Structures are given as C-alpha cells and as structure tokens.
Structure 1
Amino acid sequence: MVTLAELVRVAGVRWSVAECFQAAKGQVGLDHYQVRNWTSWHRHITLAMLALAFLTAVSASAAPERPAQMAHLTRAHPPIKLTVPEIRHLLAAVFNAPAVSAAKLLHWSNWRRQHLAAARRSHYRRRSGDEPTR
C-alpha cells in the first residue's frame, strides 16, 4: 500500500525533474538536436546536461552570503544572485567578442541584477499588503 505522503514526495520529485528539463531546453539547447542515430543523440544530451550542471554550479558558488538579520535586507539593496541565464549571457559575451568592454558588460549585469532586486522587493511588498494596490 502506498501512502499519501509517498505519493506527494514522488509528485514533488517529478516536478523538480520537469523544471530541470525545461531549464535545459531554454538555457543550453537540450531540444536543439537533429541527429540520426543514438550515439549522436546521446552525445548531444550529455553535453547539454553537462553545460547546465556547470552553469548551475557556477550560479550556486557565486551566491552571496545571506545576512543573519532580516532588517539588514531592508537597509541594503544588493543585487539578486547570479542566475543561470545571467551566467550564460556573460559567458556568451566573453567568448563571442562583445562590441563592449568587459567593464561595461559587468556594469550592465550589475545594473540589471540591481533592477531585478528592486522589482522583487516591490513585488514582495505589494503581496504582503504593505503597499496599497491601485
């Protein structure tokens, strides 16, 4: 007999796997293959998943330390952590010889992440009811 808790756990695991495949399709081209045999398909899938694992590991290692106090978050407005799409964009710009300098590219990335952090704070403030809706 399968318990309800076990069914919920399996459904949760399935959801995380589906999210991972969706991210791989959007970020590393998991679904962009045109192959005729299994060996070629296997190589493409392996390299795509390796690229996603690399981007995810870089994103996880670049995460800033979380402050111990929640009040610290309201005074300082750090940018959001580097995400997989942001790291992919930065790496693509570095390896594809961008028209802008590395300093401008990093400035743009920092500005974008600051903007996303402000949007996230505004969203949370509105959802918590602290800010009147129009």
Structure 2
Amino acid sequence: MRRYTSWTRWVTLAMLAHAFLAVLRAGEDTGARSDAAEMVPLSCNEIQRLFMTLVADRVHHADHRLSWSQWRRRHQARARRAHYRHRQVAQP
C-alpha cells in the first residue's frame, strides 16, 4: 500500500466484487430449474470463474464454458451422493 486513496479504492472494489458474487449465489438458490436437482449449486468461486472466462478470457466460446460448468456441477453432485452412500454403508 502506497497511498490511502489507492488502498480505499482497492478495498471498495474487492467488497463490491464480493457483494456481487454473494448476490448471484443467493439468486442461484432461489431459482428453480428442472435440471437443478441433479447439480450442485453455484459457488462464489464457480461464479467468479465463469465471470472471468466469459468476460476476460475469450479462448473458448461461452457455450463451451457454460456446458463445462454444468457438467462439473452434475459430476460434483454424483460424487457427493456416492460419498454419502459409501459413508452410510460404512457406519456400524
């Protein structure tokens, strides 16, 4: 930190970004979709990753990134169910 003004700008930007991610995350919980039952809800990190790849990095098309995110969330949900099922069987 060199100057107080630059520090306050940086902190304000970071707080704004965090608030943006929190609002998007909260909106994901309330939105009901047909395929949402078999997917893990969006996390703040996933929203940040999607935002950066859709806005900043233009290596792949947006459809590719969105379909990859949906595949990843479905895979996480399947892994979570399998893990819980395994833990239930393993408990005496």
Partner of 2:61: 101
- SS at the partner of 2:38? coil
> Which structure 2 residues correspond to residues 29-48 of structure 1 after superposition, within 5 A?
35-48=1-14
C-alpha distance in structure 1 between counterparts of 2:85 and 2:16, whole Å? 38
1:1-134 map, 5 Å: 35-63=1-29, 64-65=31-32, 78-127=38-87, 129-130=88-89, 132=90
Whose radius of gyration is greater, 1 or 2? 1
**Structure 1: gaps of 5 or more residues:** 1-34, 66-75
Segments of 4+ moved more than 4 angstroms: none
C-alpha displacement of 1:77: 5.2
1:21 is aligned to none
Shift of 1:97: 3.9
Read off the aligned partner of 1:55 and give its amino acid letter.
L
Equivalents in 1 of 2:76, 2:21: separation in Å?
A: 20
Counterpart of 1:7?
none
Consecutive unaligned residues in structure 2, runs of 5 or more? none
Contact 1:80–1:113 (CA under 8 A) maintained in structure 2: yes
| Counterpart Cα distance in 2 of 1:120 and 1:90 | 22
TM-score when scaled to structure 2? 0.80
Distance in 2 (alpha carbons) for counterparts of 1:124 and 1:45: 40
1:80, distance to aligned residue in structure 2 (A): 0.7
| Preserved CA contact (<8 Å) 1:77 1:114 | no
Could you say what the CA RMSD is over the residues aligned between the two structures, in angstroms? 2.0
**Within 1, Cα distance between the matches of 2:42 and 2:26?**
8
Q: CA deviation at 1:94?
A: 1.1
Normalising by the residue count of structure 1, what TM-score does the alignment of the two structures yield?
0.57
Measure the CA separation in 1 of the matches of 2:69 and 2:53.
11
**CA-CA distance at 1:89 after TM superposition:** 0.7
More helix by share: 2
